[in-house]
Amino acid sequence: MESTFEAFAKFGDSKATGREMDNKKFSKLCKDTGIIGKLVTSTDVDIIFSKYKPKGGRTITVNEFRGIIEELSAKRFPKVEAADRMKKMEELIGGKGPSTGNTTKAVKAGGVDRLTDTSKYTGSHKERFDASGKGKGIDGRKDLVTNDGYVGNYKNKGTYDDSHK
């Protein structure tokens, strides 16, 4: 049970030592291990936690945790004898860790793939990449001026002298 206490006490807090647990993490422990159910509600867990935590404090230690588990075992297993209740709770809690089952999943950013596909670029942006999608570097960004007197992309470049002799 101590390993479970430590795992939940450290969960989500990189600075936690694992020796103390607050009410939020204790409630998560009770939900993830199956203590909370038909017979034990989250309200019961909160009330019992408040009863065992030190006055003015916000956290419990492993010793206080054991006391809470003993009291919860009576609510969780009312028909089982007192001696066997703690064994059942240890089976329920022992060796478990916090789950991240209902958390938000990272989405593959389809928009990023679409926006970075160089084959779909048009206009001046298309000129910045070669056929394989690799950037041309400075050559793709600068308009290189030739100063030959012709407008860019003029098809009959260099033919003026031939037609005016």
Percent of the chain topping pLDDT 70: 88
Global pTM value: 0.60
How long is the chain? Answer: 165
Angle subtended at Cα 3 by Cα 53 and Cα 98, rounded to the nearest 5 degrees: 80
Instruction: Decide if pLDDT at 107 tops 70.
Output: no
- Backbone angle region of 57, left / alpha / beta, with phi > 0 → left and psi within -120 to 50 → alpha: beta
- Render pLDDT for 34-45 as a digit per residue (tens, 0 to 9): 899 899 999 999
The amino acid at residue 144 is L
Residues 6 and 1: their CA atoms lie apart, in Å, by: 9
